[in-house]
Chains A and B, each alone.
Chain A
């Protein structure tokens, strides 16, 4: 019998409260991680890494970040693009100011700087919520983009306002810059994704995560039972912004290599990440990945089917792709308003009961 607790004895509390209580789940998780870390680097080429996997991993980090804030703590944010820009420009300034600093430290520091900025823009959340907070964070989006466009210090006084990433290595392998290999870039992003997803998962099921969810479900009740809204909301903003900052730094340094703020981190990026978590599933780690896959991988897949396999004209394919993605978004939301992750949750319930429905 598949997918049963039966036969999987838990002897300690730690075992009992692990993330994947079922053996099948656990082993499939381990095997996916193993495959992604060990097998995939041997088979990917530049196209697979740069056009498919790296953007997927980076957007997964961003949607994990926004899911912490919106899905777990209930604070709607439209400032994701702006916060990603903070991460990108912070990593650029750090890379050019401290050439000897390790790239991993730079990425994490960029996340930390973004966390600080996120806390500042999170302050209004103490007084306003819902749509009003969305508008306040929208202001952050526009302000940050304007800031990085306006002050030349942020882009080291380059003539065009473009920032370009210098080459940085880790353990002797280049991970940024034009000559970095696809495998090195992929593994660098993957390790960060695995680490950050692990942090997110464990934060959200611990004390901090529970206080976030308490605030999300009913802030007054949460306050009455002793959850400090100031601390809770601001930690959510800080940690969420940290994730988004890391994704912004990777987006610039590893994925694109050169960005200009208005084009790369505009308002459409804020919406993109918001759609990812809504489609994937609010308040779900798996949902963040599914949402990122839906909005990053599906367009590439559709394009390759329509242009590569069917040989359609590219402009027709691009328009049909927009229509199809829109249709699929609506279909998903009509059939499963709680996101694709909920579909998986229901499937798991059904599987456990199968073949006896009651």
Chain B
């Protein structure tokens, strides 16, 4: 009981110290520790650096400074709750938790607290149905569109038919990894390929038996839904059994430099999906170098700039910042609330002009968010690792998913959620 009191004083003291000034607060539920730290760190750095860039170069967004409050979750849902409760009172505008588990937990909570949540490329897929999930956004792509893009890519590789092919799904045995199964099963039925499911338990260091099974069953392709150390181990194991890397395709969370580096040259040719471009060949990165990295304000050491996950974190921050601009315009005030932020997200339009204005033309596809569609078009491209030059390069254009298969699945899942929680459709 003594400890409780001590904690009480400590937290009370910490809470008194918060400043009272107009600012745009972006909580960043990051993880720089634990088995997923290698992937969590660059994303958090990218997010923080973009917000720093806006402050340094433009004096914030619409004249109001941004403030990123970082809170360490370690990819644990319990710490995620703690971080959410600790930051939501600070004027949080938007949550981007970078964890499917935490997303599931925060969907009802953020809706009740009227704070929007943006889960770019992860989270609950059926949140794309804005009619039911009023405060959750998962544009520009989600797991189901990712699965479909992967299959569409394989279709194009095989002359339009996957009849009789064997495809294995190697997945993280959690909500995250299980998400694509339903879509892949529907696609397997449509295109006549065999789907083998190979779950890998958290944290994913032990995959010998799964790869033994792959060696025995010789699937034509392996798709991977991995995260953290699981990616590195999988790529290493694939090279151990001499699995052809050209036939090994990861989701966008399984395609960063950190994942392929440990396998060295053996990882050459490994493919992964992505919903944005890689590298630093965009004008925005010059500003980033000048105002943030060279000024010594980078969140990390600056070495991650331009890597896949750094760009993704930066992209998440960029989408949030654009939504702020929309919200500021809609409501005629620079100091917006979380509720206005939600409107901003729902009316967000990413066009060539917006991307060019930011200095990221061609970085990611255009899309429009509507009240009904919180998910965007779900375009994805395939990138391939070149071990010699240590770089990823896009080998396809952005491919459209098969929405004829996905949309009924989204509708069914969101309808089930709406029925379970008595949710009225919000769009008229």
Contacts and interface: CB of A to CB of B under 8 A. Distances in A.
Interface of A: 32, 45-48, 50-53, 55-56, 96, 149, 158-162, 164, 166-167, 177-179, 255-260, 262-264, 266, 289, 293-294, 297-298, 300-301, 303-305, 307-309, 314-315, 317-319, 322
Interface of B: 1, 3-4, 6-8, 10-11, 13-15, 17, 30, 32-33, 37, 41, 70-72, 74, 76-78, 81-82, 85-86, 88-89, 100-101, 104-105, 107-109, 111-112, 124-126, 173-176, 178-179, 181-182, 199, 201-202, 409, 413, 416, 420-421
Contacts of B41: 315
A151 B136 CA distance: 28
Contact of B1 (A32, A164, A179): A32
B246 to A, nearest CB: 30
B175 A162 contact: yes
B71 A256 contact: no
30 contacts: A47-B86, A50-B85, A51-B85, A158-B413, A159-B409, A160-B100, A162-B101, A164-B104, A179-B112, A257-B105, A258-B77, A258-B108, A259-B77, A260-B101, A260-B104, A263-B76, A263-B101, A263-B202, A297-B4, A298-B3, A300-B11, A300-B82, A301-B3, A308-B11, A308-B17, A309-B14, A314-B32, A315-B32, A317-B72, A318-B74
Given A260-B174, A317-B72, A166 B420 contact: yes
Nearest to A257: B105
Contacts of B14: 304-305, 308-309
Closest 4 CB pairs of A and B: A308-B14, A315-B32, A178-B108, A160-B175
A256 B7 contact: no
Contacts, number: 147
Nearest to A157: B416
B195 to A, nearest CB: 15
Contacts of A257: 105, 108-109
A301 B77 contact: no
Given A32-B1, A47-B89, A308-B17, A159 B126 contact: yes
Interface majority SS on A: helix, strand, loop or mixed? Answer: helix
Contacts of A263: 76-77, 101, 174, 202
A300 B413 CA distance: 36
Given A47-B86, A48-B11, A304-B7, 6 more contacts: A52-B7, A256-B77, A260-B104, A262-B202, A297-B4, A315-B37
Contacts of A162: 101, 104, 175
A161 B174 contact: yes
B3 A293 contact: yes
Given A160-B124, A256-B105, A262 B11 contact: no
B89 A160 contact: no
Nearest to B41: A315
Contacts of A166: 420-421
A159 B127 CA distance: 12
Contacts of A319: 33
B416 to A, nearest CB: 8
B76 to A, nearest CB: 7
A50 B82 contact: yes
